[in-house]
A and B are shown apart, each in its own frame.
Chain A
Amino acid sequence: MLFLLDFSDFLLNGFLTTLQVTLVGVGLGIILGILAALGDIYGGKIVKIIVNVYVEFFRGSPLIAQLFLIYFTLPVLTGLKLDVITVGYLTLALNSGAYQKGYLKGAMEAVFKDQFLAALSLGLPLRKILMYVVVPQSLRIVIPAWSNELASMAKSTTALIVIGVREFLNTGVSITAQTFKPLETYLFITIVYFIWIYSMLKILDIIYNRVKIPGLEPVI
């Protein structure tokens, strides 16, 4: 496996790309998920329809198809020239946001009806109720669900290979093409994925236990 040392910079760059795409995808997905969940709970009829069309579409179609769709149609529709990595960020964020909306909505709805009324009775405007009561609790409750989402997103980034993003798996494909050593290369790559994802989950576990509040157990 020592031959891989010759490719260390190449591999590192690939890994960093994967890391970046995962974190940006999940990160933007959180924001989209919060907005979509709030829209679905507190929004008007039209907002609800838009949210649900978005969510069902991205949950109900393959990620690779979504990548192609955005890669080929968005530049035509907007006239913008998008590089592949931007398409990657965008697609993963939209995909992740659709799933996260479900977790967050569940967390927001299950516990907060009575507290919402209590906050209202204090005279808090909606914006402050969301900021100080609804969102802080939903974020805590949703952490375990995020572990799943992060792991799943980390693995989904390999799909970016189809639009030619030089992510970690793609570096393996290139190395194999040059060295004809698929066994060692893919073994190495798979193990790195495993170690990375496993430690991310552990870290989230620690964070969850840190911010955990008695009586605020996950509802999902």
Chain B
Amino acid sequence: MNVLECKNLVKVYGKVVAVKNVSLGIGRGETKVIFGPSGSGKSTLLRCLGLLEKPTSGNIYFNNVDVYATKQDLNKLRAKIGFVFQEPSLFRHLTALRNVMLGLKHVLGYSEEESRSKAMEALRLVKMEDWANYYPAQLSGGQQQRVGIARAIAMDPEIILFDEPTAALDVELKWEVISVMKDLADRGITMLIATHELRFAKEVADEMIFMDQGEIIEIGDAEQFFTSPTTERARRFMAKLLG
């Protein structure tokens, strides 16, 4: 069964068609990777799947229920879909711990103590427990991103969407975020990751999805993309990325 799925999803901004007719599903426990040139619609697709933007047309299913057709409470569903952004979007007036606690306390309704212990558990998972009382501005980009992952994990979501979580980081900070994501994949957490880190993708992806100009061009396993992509566009893009 798919946790999250979209059918014929289209998103148009003004005259720009950002996502063209995309259908895609992520099953429980799966890790799928989306990649493709910037501007290929990955972010928009993820935001639609995360219910942060309403698609222009098409359907989104959460646990096989059509979200918009059956007028689901979006906030309830958003709490079950974790989202990690490209920019570490931490709340700047709150410590790392408080960032993670906010949703636990004010969305899921846990008490102060319960929220605190659950948040600490999530911070331990991303190895940030020693930084719990630091403010975002006192942390490096990689550390902020790990807190962002902890904030998503703590909500115990059914799936986590990652929108190029390492794209804004220096090379030496990327590995710490990647290793956290690998860890999550090993734990069987359902994930959809947009990334350009192909070596990482090869290790974790059950399936890789190549997007260009708002469309899915090719779907396959990592092996296929690394050795013999079937489409010309994927072949060219792989060549560019792998140098």
Contact = CB atoms under 8 A, between A and B. Distances in A.
Most chain-B Cβ atoms within 10 A of its Cβ — which of A118, A121, A213? Answer: A121
Contact of B75 (A111, A114, A123): A123
B83 interface: yes
A118 B78 CA distance: 11
Given A122-B107, A122-B151, A123-B75, A137 B50 contact: no
B93 A137 contact: yes
A215 B107 contact: no
Contacts of B135: 213-215
A111 B92 CA distance: 9
Nearest to A123: B79
A120 interface: yes
Given A117-B89, A118-B90, A128-B106, A123 B78 contact: yes
A190 interface: no
B103 interface: yes
Interface string A112-129: 001101111111110010
A118 B137 contact: no
Contact of A122 (B93, B102, B136, B137): B102
Contacts of A115: 89-92
Interface in B73-104: 75-83, 85, 87, 89-93, 102-103
Interface in B9-30: none
Contact of A121 (B50, B76, B91): B50
B155 interface: yes
B63 to A, nearest CB: 16
A63 interface: no
Given A114-B87, A115-B91, A214 B79 contact: no
Contacts of A137: 91-93
A140 interface: yes
Contact of B138 (A122, A125, A132, A215): A215
A213 B151 CA distance: 20
A49 B211 CA distance: 42
A122 B103 contact: yes
A123 to B, nearest CB: 3
Interface residues of A, number: 22
B145 to A, nearest CB: 12
Contacts of B50: 121
Contacts of A121: 50, 52, 78, 81-83, 152
Contacts of B83: 118, 121
A216 interface: yes
Contacts of A114: 85, 87, 89
A171 to B, nearest CB: 43
Given A117-B52, A132-B102, A215-B135, A124 B89 contact: no
B91 A133 contact: yes
A37 to B, nearest CB: 17
Nearest to B74: A123
B92 A213 contact: yes
A120 B155 CA distance: 13
A123 B92 contact: no
A164 interface: no
Contact of A117 (B79, B85, B90, B102): B85
A110 to B, nearest CB: 12
A132 B89 contact: no
A47 B37 CA distance: 40
Contacts of A124: 75, 102-103, 106-107
21 contacts: A114-B87, A115-B90, A117-B85, A118-B83, A118-B90, A121-B78, A121-B82, A122-B79, A122-B102, A123-B75, A123-B78, A123-B107, A128-B106, A132-B102, A132-B106, A213-B92, A213-B93, A213-B135, A213-B137, A215-B138, A216-B137
Q: Which 8 A-B pairs have the closest CB atoms?
A: A215-B137, A123-B79, A122-B103, A121-B83, A118-B89, A114-B89, A123-B78, A214-B137
